[in-house]
Amino acid sequence: MLEKTGAFNKAVAVIPSTKLQEGDILVTRSKGHTVIVIEAESEDKPAHKPDKAKAEKSKKDIKAIALEVIAGKWGSGEDRKNRFKAAGYNYSDVQKEVKQFLKFYPIYS
């Protein structure tokens, strides 16, 4: 279903050496469980010592931010608005992207 939206890449099999990126969506074949990657390991920073301050300062794609909102990473209400502003994101733009995603997948709303 995700591929049909045109907003996602073709599905691939994930193996231990697969490099995941923030915003990747993993779905099991047998049980239909879903996982959204909200923080990924990069080659320049080891997994055991993430530099969260650096990650927060770099701007992410609005689709990745929308997925983080759906995953609950950005809080809600005024707290979410304030966090978006502090991180340099436009609240209305992000919410529009969230609504667009939820239009295709009403199970998350």
pLDDT for 20-53, tens place per residue? 888 788 877 777 677 888 887 765 544 444 455 5
Which has the closest alpha carbon to 65: 55, 78, 74? 74
Alpha carbon distance 12, 14 (integer Å): 6
Q: Quick one: DSSP state of residue 42?
A: B
Cα dihedral sign for 65, 85, 73, 18? positive
| Cα separation of the two ends of the chain | 17
For residue 58, what pLDDT is reported?
Answer: 65
73-106: pLDDT as tens digits? 898 889 999 999 888 999 999 999 888 888 776 5
- pTM for the whole thing? 0.46
Amino acid letter at 26?
A: L
| Residue of higher predicted confidence among 91 and 14 | 91
Delimit the domains of the chain by residue range: 3-108
* 3-state SS assignment for residue 63: helix
